[in-house]
Amino acid sequence: MIVMAGMIGAGKTTYTTKIAEELQTQPFYEAVDENPILNKYYEDPEKYGFALQIYFLNKRFKSIKEAFFDQNNVLDRSIYEDALFTKINVDNGNISEEEYQLYLALLDNMMEELSTLPKKAPDLMVYLDASFEHILANIKKRGRSFEQPTEENGLLSYYKQLHTAYGDWFEQYNHGPKLRIDADRYDVNNEKDWQNVFDQIQAKLNGKEIMIG
């Protein structure tokens, strides 16, 4: 099982689709378009912060259970990132300390359940590391109105906060093998670039390191 990681707009959905096609397996996508809370969160994060994180946690746990019992599945976001988003919401005053402790207790219970499954962690976590400019360009390109930063909604500061936090999060990730991909460097719609990326993924899955071309 492979899980993607990276902040909003890094390209996780595209990578998930292409990896799943290469492996001829099922992709599991983050619930966004059918998420009844996400756009409300962007309008009022203090009111909907906790509900959004519980929604994502529940959906992620369901996807992981389904993926664990199959072979070579790809998930476009890891459950390990959810705690990062939740902590940022706590720091920003959108989630109370009491809600945060409840969230962590629920997450711990879920992780204990995962330990009884055939695998205790993903075979590989692929982190898409992109420049802030790349992130903003992708957010604009995909065109979800509630994600667009304006002077009034404060999203630009929020995205910068996330972008900074992700680097530390990746360094601290220790649940299994991990691979950092420079998302600025590769256009995965270009066959040569994609082959380079997929070669790195295959090598890491096989416990090897390759020179990045």
Check if the beta carbon of residue 132 is closer than 8 Å to that of residue 163: yes
Task: Note the pLDDT tens digit of each residue in 54-79.
Answer: 998 988 888 877 777 666 688 888 88
Sorting pLDDT into bands at 50, 70 and 90, what band is 33?
low
pTM for this prediction: 0.86
Strand partners, 3: 75, 125
For residues 7-31, average pLDDT: 89
184 tagged catalytic: no
Task: Say which DSSP state 93 is in.
Answer: T
Annotated catalytic residue within 70, 76, 168, 187: 76
Task: Note the pLDDT tens digit of each residue in 150-187.
Answer: 878 888 999 999 999 998 999 999 988 999 999 999 99
Report the distance separating Cα 138 and Cα 130, nearest Å. 10
Report the distance separating Cα 15 and Cα 189, nearest Å. 10
pLDDT at 205 over 50: yes
Q: Cα 126 vs. chain centroid, distance in angstroms?
A: 9
Residue 129 is predicted with a pLDDT of 96
pLDDT at 30 over 90: no
Q: Which residues are annotated binding-site positions for substrate?
A: 30, 42, 53, 77, 82, 147
Neighbours of 17 (CB within 10 A): 15
CATH classification number, 2-205, choose in 3.90.1580.10, 3.40.50.720, 3.40.50.300, 3.30.565.10: 3.40.50.300
pLDDT at 204 over 80: yes
Least confident of 18-22, 88-92, 118-122: 118-122
Task: Note the pLDDT tens digit of each residue in 114-125.
Answer: 776 666 678 899
pLDDT at 37 over 80: yes
Task: Say which DSSP state 145 is in.
Answer: G
Sorting pLDDT into bands at 50, 70 and 90, what band is 213?
very low
Give me the residue spans of the domains in the chain: 2-205
Residue 25 is predicted with a pLDDT of 87
Task: Say which DSSP state 148 is in.
Answer: -
Q: Which residues are annotated binding-site positions?
A: 6-14, 30, 42, 53, 77, 82, 147
Check if the beta carbon of residue 197 is closer than 8 Å to that of residue 22: no
Quote the mean pLDDT of the chain: 88
Between the alpha carbon of residue 57 and those of residues 5, 15, 79, the distances in Å are 15, 22, 7
Residue 131 is predicted with a pLDDT of 96
Q: Which residues are annotated binding-site positions for ATP?
A: 6-14
